[in-house]
């Protein structure tokens, strides 16, 4: 699975009137490259359900990470969960998706809606085998991964979306309805996060903006690895220009150059003119430039600050997606390249101090630039990107 990358997105809707969600998703990345994902749905809603689902997903994910047998995991879970004082039950459903470096996915599910696999725009049956553990029917399956595979796991709140007084869908959405809705979308090249957001937005709409149950979706999109390289700021010593630029342009993948001085030294290194545009699609974002041999040339600090804002929102409710998904300003183009195209990102950061940024009347200085790069790289790591930062 060396050239395959598991792009992962998940999000929840709280039941209307509840401050916490009764569903929980746990993610573990092992040193060998395995990724273990657990979506758990606790009994009921509110705090008790939240505790049950969090414990379930945490315990199961760690046991699977230790490669313990499924039977042992289920028995240990039953003993560990607190019993509800009202219903006298300790109950949480779950779905496990374990992506391995060998290019296989292992699925384990208990009482959740069946996991979905969409391949080439069509649902593919997952070959589940059933086993009974302490009177619980557990389903397991093994799938050989292919490029473009999309796995979707949901809690029953997604199936029930639209059920409730005054709702238009008296029988809910159904798993089959969700499959039909998602099949064409999986051909559009959207990221896992975007696919997941589209699915939950539809659930929210069907509930009329007041979800009748906790609703969670987890999406895994198997794609090829893509490298993007971003350079911002010239090196502290001019003697290092050649070294920094040769390393930067020697990397495979797309190249983004940010900052006026950085663009000029890149232009000189490549022997190609720097052309500056005076078109402003967003009046708050400086205009871009172009250099033959560079995929994207933008201003530095202001543009990267906007990208960071988009990145932080991407990890939350992703509402700003509609702002950057189609616009042609520098921040939007960088966001699309880093969030949607890249799996591996190399930052080349120059430590030279820009005299213009040291004016005490300006809100920008050298330390802010370094902080922006640190925050952006950490936020991209949380998206699942492989990040490397080199300073010059």
Secondary element (H or E) of residue 11? strand 4-13
Determine if residue 154 is left, alpha or beta; phi over 0 gives left, psi from -120 to 50 gives alpha, anything else beta.
beta
Which one has a higher pLDDT value, 166 or 249?
A: 249
Residues 215 and 359 grouped into a single domain = no
Percent of the chain with pLDDT over 90: 73
Q: Are 16 and 392 in contact (CB under 8 A)?
A: no
Task: Please give the sequence-ordered ranges of beta strands (E in DSSP) within 129-253, or none if there are none.
Answer: 129-133, 136-144, 150-154, 215-224, 227-232
User: Which of 59-68, 312-321, 348-357 has the highest average model confidence (pLDDT)?
Assistant: 59-68
Statement to judge: residues 243 and 343 lie in one domain: yes
Q: Which of residues 222 and 1 earns the better pLDDT score?
A: 222
* SS3 of residue 104 by DSSP: strand
Helix (H, G, I), strand (E, B) or coil at 266: helix
Closest Cα to residue 160, out of 122, 220, 208? Answer: 208
Mean pLDDT of 102-121: 96
Both tokens assigned to 91: 């109950």
pLDDT of residue 280: 77
In this structure, the answer to whether residues 56 and 141 fall within a common structural domain is yes
- By C-alpha distance, which of 154, 144, 197 is closest to 178? 154
CA dihedral 93→99→103→108, nearest 10 degrees, is -20
* pLDDT at 247 > cutoff 70: yes
Lowest mean pLDDT among 78-92, 119-133, 288-302: 78-92
The mean per-residue pLDDT over the stretch 264-286 comes to 89
- What secondary structure letter does DSSP report for 84? P
In tens, the pLDDT along 129-141 reads 999 988 889 999 9
pLDDT surpasses 70 at 362: no
Q: Tell me the C-alpha distance between 105 and 151, whole Å.
A: 10
Residues 261 and 139 in one domain: no
Helix (H) or strand (E) holding 7: strand 4-13
What sign results for the dihedral spanned by CA atoms 277, 257, 286, 271? negative
In the predicted model, what is the mean pLDDT of residues 27-55?
A: 93
Q: List CB contacts of 374: < 8 A, sequence separation 6 or more.
A: none
What pTM, to 2 d.p., does this model score? 0.88
Rounded distance between C-alpha atoms, residue 43 and residue 48, angstroms: 8
Name the residue with higher pLDDT: 249 or 368. 249
Residues 72 and 197 in one domain: yes
- The pair phi, psi for residue 365, each rounded to 5°, is -145, 180
Q: What CATH number should be reported for the domain holding residue 167?
A: 3.60.40.10
Beta-carbon count within 10 A of 217 CB: 29
Domain-terminating residue out of 209, 224, 239: 224
Q: Which residue has the higher pLDDT, 123 or 322?
A: 123
Q: What is the mean pLDDT of residues 183-210?
A: 95
Rounded to whole angstroms, the Cα distance separating 366 from 352 reads: 8
CA–CA gap between residue 81 and residue 269 (Å, rounded)? 62
Does residue 208 sit in the same domain as residue 239? no
User: DSSP of 143-186, one letter per residue?
Assistant: EE--TT-EEEEE-HHHHTTT-STT-S-TT---HHHHHHHHHHHT
Residues 260 and 376 grouped into a single domain: yes
Count of structural domains within the chain = 2
Determine the average pLDDT of the residues in 224-234.
95
Confidence label for 149 from pLDDT (cuts 50, 70 and 90): very high
Pairing of strands 104-110, 136-144: antiparallel
173 and 302 in a common domain: no
Higher pLDDT pick, 191 / 88: 191
What range does the domain containing 249 cover? 227-391
d(CA 366, CA 243): 22
Sheet holding 386-391, edge to edge: 275-276, 289-290, 296-298, 254-258, 227-232, 344-349, 386-391
Question: pLDDT at residue 363 above 50?
Answer: no
Query: Which two three-digit tokens encode residue 70?
Result: 């499924």
317 and 385 together in one domain: yes
Last residue of a domain, one of 208, 224, 240: 224
Asked whether residue 188 falls in the same domain as residue 281, the answer is: no
Structure tokens given for 231: 């350079």
Say whether pLDDT at 19 is over 60: yes
Cβ(339)–Cβ(220) under 8 Å? no
φ, ψ (nearest 5 deg) of residue 173: -90, -40
> Would you call 30 exposed, middle or buried from its count of C-beta atoms within 10 A (0-12, 13-18, 19+)?
middle
User: Percent of the chain at pLDDT above 70?
Assistant: 92
Token output for 19: 């401050």
CA distance readout (Å), 174 to 93, 99, 154, 380 = 18, 26, 11, 34
Q: What is the mean pLDDT of the chain?
A: 90
Do 141 and 244 reside in the same domain of the chain? no
Would you place residue 168 in the very low, low, confident or very high pLDDT band (cuts 50, 70, 90)? low
Mark which of 224, 248, 280 sits at the end of a domain: 224
Residue 339 has pLDDT above 60, yes or no: yes
Structure tokens given for 268: 């000189």
244 and 380, same domain (yes or no): yes
What does the pLDDT look like over 301-311, one tens digit per residue?
999 999 999 99
**What pLDDT sits at residue 282?**
81
Q: Does the structure show a pLDDT above 60 at 167?
A: no
Residues 279-288 have a mean pLDDT of 84
């Amino acid at each position: 699975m060396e050239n395959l990358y598991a792009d992962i997105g998940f999000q929840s809707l709280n039941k209307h009137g509840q401050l916490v969600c009764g569903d929980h998703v746990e993610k573990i990345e092992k040193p060998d490259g395995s990724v273990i994902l657990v979506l758990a749905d606790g009994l009921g809603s509110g705090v008790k359900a939240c505790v049950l689902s969090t414990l379930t997903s945490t315990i199961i994910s760690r046991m699977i990470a230790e490669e313990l047998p499924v039977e042992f995991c289920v028995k240990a879970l039953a003993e560990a969960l607190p019993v509800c004082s009202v219903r006298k039950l300790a109950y949480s459903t779950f779905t496990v998706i374990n992506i391995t470096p060998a290019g296989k996915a292992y699925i384990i599910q208990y009482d959740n809606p069946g996991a979905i696999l969409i391949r080439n725009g069509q649902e593919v049956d997952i070959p589940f085998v059933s086993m009974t553990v302490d009177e619980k029917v557990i389903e397991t399956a093994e799938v050989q991964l292919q490029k473009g595979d999309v796995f979707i796991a949901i809690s029953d709140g997604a199936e029930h979306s639209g059920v409730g007084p005054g709702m238009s869908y008296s029988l809910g959405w159904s798993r089959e309805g969700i499959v039909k809705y998602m099949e064409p979308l999986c051909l559009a090249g959207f990221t896992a996060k975007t696919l997941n957001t589209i699915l939950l937005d539809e659930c929210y709409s069907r509930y009329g903006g007041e979800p009748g149950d906790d609703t969670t979706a987890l999406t895994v999109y198997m794609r090829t690895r893509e490298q993007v390289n971003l350079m911002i700021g010239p090196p502290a010593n001019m003697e290092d220009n050649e070294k920094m630029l040769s390393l930067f342009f020697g990397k495979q993948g797309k190249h983004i150059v940010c900052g006026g001085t950085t663009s000029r030294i890149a232009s000189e290194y490549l022997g190609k003119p720097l052309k500056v545009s005076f078109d402003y699609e967003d009046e708050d974002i400086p205009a871009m430039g172009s250099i033959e041999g560079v995929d994207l040339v933008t201003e530095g600090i202001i543009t990267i600050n906007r990208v960071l804002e988009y990145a932080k929102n991407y990890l939350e409710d992703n509402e700003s997606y509609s702002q950057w998904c189609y616009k042609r300003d520098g921040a939007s183009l960088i966001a699309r390249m880093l969030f949607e195209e890249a799996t591996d990102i190399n930052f080349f950061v120059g430590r030279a101090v820009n005299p213009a940024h040291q004016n005490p009347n300006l809100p920008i200085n050298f330390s802010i630039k370094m902080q922006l790069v640190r925050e952006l790289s950490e936020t991209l790591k949380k998206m699942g990107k492989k990040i490397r930062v080199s300073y010059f």
